[in-house]
Amino acid sequence: MGFLIYKRMVANGGVRYAKLKPLKLGGRDGLIAKHVKTLADAETQSWKLDAAGLLQLAGHDAADSTVLFDIAGRDATSVCLYELARIHGSCRETSTQIALDLSVLIDREVGEDAAEVAQEFDVPADVQAKRLGETMSLSGGPAGGDWKWGTSALQLGATVVPAHHSGPRCSACTCGRKDSASAESDACLTHV
| Dihedral pair phi/psi, residue 35, rounded to 5° | -65, -45
Is 57 within 8 Å of 34 (Cβ atoms)?
A: yes
Q: Is 115 exposed, middle or buried (0-12, 13-18, 19+ CB in 10 A)?
A: middle
Is 83 within 8 Å of 68 (Cβ atoms)?
A: yes
Q: Where are the domains of the chain?
A: 2-150, 162-192
**DSSP at 12:** T
Tens digit of pLDDT for each residue in 92-123? 999 999 999 999 999 988 888 888 999 999 99
What percent of the chain shows pLDDT beyond 70? 79
Tens digit of pLDDT for each residue in 133-143? 888 899 999 99
Cα(42)–Cα(37) distance, rounded to whole angstroms? 12
pTM of the model: 0.75
Residue 116 belongs to what H/E stretch?
helix 114-119
Tens digit of pLDDT for each residue in 7-46? 999 988 899 999 999 999 999 999 999 999 999 999 999 9
